A = this chain, B = another copy of it.
């Protein structure tokens, strides 16, 4: 539960309080590697604390997002913004067929090395999203194509 402590400390730094609701939301977010929407998180929250409101989940996630503790990931326009704890920087592969998003580890040099357009910019984060067809969808398409 390292991540939770880190985020809790960050909250305190800003004079914000660590309530049971927030603690739970943070725990869920840092365990869930599936890039959940707010609604996904809410569903998990109410399993443990049924009386928590959606608003609290929205507020908490928004606050942590503005604190930089979690990040929004590419919206796939399937119901809501998705979030990701950014503990370790990583990138994403999105299958345009089954519409799933999965993590990809890329040992890649920094973008600034490949561009003059970033002169004078302070770079905080780099996020690559690779779009394509995952192996299982590809196999399915191949099979279907044999008709």
Contact = CB atoms under 8 A, between A and B. Distances in A.
A93 B132 CA distance: 22
A109 to B, nearest CB: 8
Contacts of A117: 93, 103-105
A126 B130 CA distance: 4
Given A77-B81, A91-B111, A120-B138, A129 B127 contact: yes
**Contact size class for A?**
35 or more
Given A74-B75, A128-B127, A138 B122 contact: yes
A1 to B, nearest CB: 27
Given A74-B74, A107-B115, A121-B134, 4 more contacts: A108-B114, A111-B128, A122-B138, A127-B129
Copies in the complex: 2
Interface in A112-147: 114-135, 138
A91 B95 CA distance: 19
Contacts of A77: 72, 75, 81
B118 A127 contact: no
